[in-house]
Amino acid sequence: MMSDGQLLPNALIPDIPTQIAGYSPQNFDLDYDGAVPASRALSRSLNIPAVRMLQQYRFQRFHSLLKRLGITTFSKPASHYGLSMILGGGGVTLWELSGVYASMARTLLHMEQNDGKYDEDDYHAPGYRLRETRPSQHKLSPYGVLDAAAIWYTFQAMEDVMRPGEEMLWQQFSSSQRVAWKTGTSFGFRDGWAIGVTPQFVVGVWVGNTDGEGRPGLIGVSTAAPVMFEIFRQLRTSGWFDMPSSKMKMIDVCRQSGYRAGQYCEEVDSMLVPAAGLRSAVCPYHQLIHLDPTGQYRVTAACELPEQMQHKSWFVLPPAMEFYYRSKHLYQPLPPFKPGCDNAEEPGHSMELIYPRPNARIYVPLELDGSRGETVFRATHRNREAKIFWHRIIHL
């Protein structure tokens, strides 16, 4: 998405209960952040933001991209895997996936020596033998399979993954080594994976039973990651990938949202981003609100003279994102409207249905006694004291 200009590294991604055509992904901890920076969503392996990003990117494009990167095991059409593809819904081999990491690392390492051009030969399958020969064309191009700046920012995010020991009481890894790494756990706790990359090496580790039997507690971060870091310790890697600054542009970024700064973003940082980021979206979460002279209430021209108003920029998340976000972050909700102000906020801006999503179909099962079962609907309102009324329409 960064390669395409659809995303900046720290842009906020919704992390809320999600249902897409009957598919309901869950985070590993079964919790929600409301909104989370894209880089943090990657480093924390949050499933819901990943699925929502893939929905925007389109799983058909991602399926095609994986094949271009060297994955050969996706034998069925993209529709067979759907959005679950981003969470391991399609089988891959540790060998091929490690090869993709190596290809991305080669792209960064060869940028400078190729005068900022991409070598098409950087993307190739790994070989088993140290001196294995294969045809090398070294065809240079101004465009790569993935943007080098996007790869660099992705590796930066993956370097921030919580080390085993910070959460698993495992404290043997020397933090002097810089490693971009990712873990994975297959459904049913059958496989624990960890893959790490440095400028010198890629290390991939699988932990599991040879017969594929699952075992509770067999998760990548606590089983495969310690082995991977021990291997890196023995290899004694050093240094880090150079920033591909020739593939970046300096833009103003909203500090709170991570989007391109809009006219109402007051805290702005100048930041080098992938060049495609020039066409990324402007911050959608800052808006100008109008307050009364005390600053306690929102007002409109119907209840306050314009010359008496205070005009202030405000960080406003949609109601569902706000509901979960403010439980974990400092967040200043919108002030209420001044009593007697006729032109109050429209319901669609103050209340949101969390479940089900619009146009969703819900199948309510029959109980064992033949009676109709029940379902739970969830909604949120910006005003925690508000009373929400539910209405059912029956079509005869």
Judge whether 92 lies within some domain: yes
10 touches 39 (CB < 8 A):
yes
Judge whether 91 lies within some domain: yes
Judge whether 86 lies within some domain: yes
Judge whether 346 lies within some domain: no
Q: Which domain holds residue 145?
A: 12-245
**Which stretches does DSSP call E strand in the chain?**
12-15, 34-37, 118-119, 140-141, 180-185, 191-197, 202-208, 248-254, 268-274, 286-291, 310-315, 351-355, 378-381
| CATH code for the domain of 129 | 3.40.710.10
Judge whether 206 lies within some domain: yes
Judge whether 238 lies within some domain: yes
Q: Residue type for 73, please?
A: T
Question: Domain tally for the chain?
Answer: 1
Tell me the sheet residues that pair with 35: 14
Q: How far is CA 392 from the centre of its chain?
A: 36
pLDDT, residue 144, reads 92
Judge whether 252 lies within some domain: no
Q: Which of 164, 167, 207, 169 is closest to 189 using CA atoms?
A: 207
Judge whether 79 lies within some domain: yes
pLDDT, residue 245, reads 94
Mark residue 30 as left, alpha or beta (left: phi above 0; alpha: psi -120 to 50; beta: remaining): left
Number of H-type helices and E-type strands within the chain:
9, 13
pLDDT tens for the 396 residues of the chain, in order? 999 999 999 999 999 999 888 788 999 889 999 999 999 999 999 999 999 999 999 999 999 999 999 999 999 999 999 999 999 888 899 999 999 999 999 999 999 888 899 999 999 988 887 776 666 667 898 999 999 999 999 999 999 876 555 554 344 455 568 999 999 888 888 999 999 999 999 999 999 998 889 998 899 988 999 999 999 999 988 899 999 999 999 999 999 999 999 999 999 999 999 999 999 999 999 999 999 999 999 999 888 899 999 999 999 999 999 999 999 999 999 998 898 886 555 545 788 888 887 777 788 888 888 888 888 888 998 888 888 898 888 777
